[in-house]
């Protein structure tokens, strides 16, 4: 890889939207950015949410990039990677998924592998274990996907006409902990009911019917009922939806943040009302990101 350096920008994402568990994702306008330049040895520097970086053996971006290189029969030359991020860590906005997508793109660009979008998606979903966050970060907009060891299929939809408010608590919740609280099985009748709710959510989203989508978020049976054990306020917050000028609310990914969906132009008002009711949370106004991962080779790259 020669000069000049290049920049990779990857959006964060919110996933599930209630009953769309491990399937539905939406890219949001919070970003992980990498500036990659040739180096004599591997080094990473961070700004924003990434000021405290782990050693290389625990660095997700480094490990994933090396894995992609090995899988394609290459050695990845050393690089200096300057990073900054506005995606909060372990708060339910897909920080690890964004890192995985960035790492795959880093290897793709440095080694000129020429990966297709489908190949990137497959790699990312196999590493992450589910397609919702990684596909949103990769493609942008709203994504609906299915993933297992045999396949990964995702349908990308246009970014919806909606704004969001993220309720952020002052504590983190690791995805592993949030997943361990979920049951291994659902009774058949419960699974049918949960699936029908998810189906209506998808139909509502595709028709931009956010009133119905909000109702389906509230009825989720796949993960909200179980994760209330880790987030005690979740049930009461979700039950309070009708008191606010919003379509609905759901855990953002595995949590602990809660994401509210509202009409265009209403996020500031909604955030103010929520802050009055829940002063121990912080609030961020979000919009959908329509682009997904972007690589910039043309401009001079610096933070």
Tell me: is residue 92 an annotated ligand-binding position: yes
Residue 97 labeled ligand binder: yes
> Is 18 annotated as a binding-site member?
no
Q: Report how far residue 224's alpha carbon sits from residue 229's, in angstroms, rounded to the nearest whole number.
A: 9
Half-sphere exposure of 89 (CA within 13 A, CB side): 11
By the 8 A CB rule, do 160 and 26 touch? yes
Answer yes or no: is 94 a known binding residue. Answer: yes
Residue 232 annotated as binding?
no
Is 89 marked within a binding site?
A: yes
Map tokens 């919740």 to a residue.
Answer: 173
Non-local CB neighbours of 55 within 8 Å, separated by 6+ positions:
none
Most distant CA atoms of the chain, gap in Å:
59
Q: Distance between CA atoms of 123 and 44, rounded to whole angstroms?
A: 23
- Asked whether the beta carbons of 136 and 121 are under 8 A apart, the reply is no
Q: Does 91 appear as a known binding residue?
A: yes
Q: Is 182 annotated as a binding residue?
A: no
Helices (H), 79-164: 95-111, 117-128, 132-139
In sequence order, the β-bridge partners of residue 143 are: 25, 156
Burial of 270: CB neighbours in 10 Å, binned 0-12, 13-18, 19+: buried
> Is 250 part of any known ligand binding site?
no
Residues annotated as binding site for ATP? 88-98
Binding residues: 88-98
């Amino acid at each position: 890889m020669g000069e000049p350096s290049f920049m990779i920008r990857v959006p964060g994402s919110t996933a599930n939207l209630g009953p769309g568990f491990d399937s539905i994702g939406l890219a949001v306008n919070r970003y992980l950015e990498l500036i990659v330049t040739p180096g004599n040895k591997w080094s990473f520097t961070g700004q924003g949410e990434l000021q405290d970086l782990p050693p290389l053996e625990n660095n997700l971006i480094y490990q994933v990039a090396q894995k992609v290189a090995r899988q394609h029969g290459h050695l990845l030359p050393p690089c200096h990677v300057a990073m900054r991020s506005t995606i909060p860590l372990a708060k339910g906005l897909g920080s690890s998924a964004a890192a995985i997508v960035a790492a795959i793109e880093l290897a793709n660009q440095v080694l000129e592998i020429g990966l297709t979008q489908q190949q990137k998606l497959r790699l990312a979903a196999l590493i992450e274990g589910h397609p919702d966050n990684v596909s949103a970060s990769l493609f942008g907009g709203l994504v609906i996907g299915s993933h297992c060891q045999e396949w990964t299929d995702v349908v990308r939809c246009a970014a919806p006409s909606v704004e969001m408010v993220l309720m952020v608590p002052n504590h983190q919740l690791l995805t592993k902990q949030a997943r361990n609280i979920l049951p291994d099985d659902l009774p058949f009748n419960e699974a049918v009911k949960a699936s029908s709710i998810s189906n209506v959510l998808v139909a509502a989203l595709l028709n931009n019917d956010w009133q119905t989508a909000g109702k389906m978020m509230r009825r989720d049976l796949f993960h909200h009922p179980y994760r209330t054990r880790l987030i005690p306020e979740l049930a009461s917050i979700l039950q309070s939806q009708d008191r606010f000028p919003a379509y609905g609310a759901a855990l953002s990914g595995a949590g602990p943040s809660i994401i509210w969906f509202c009409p265009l132009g209403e996020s500031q008002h909604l955030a103010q009302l929520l802050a009055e009711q829940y002063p121990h949370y912080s609030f961020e106004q979000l919009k959908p990101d329509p682009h997904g991962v972007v690589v910039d080779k043309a401009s001079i790259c610096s933070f």
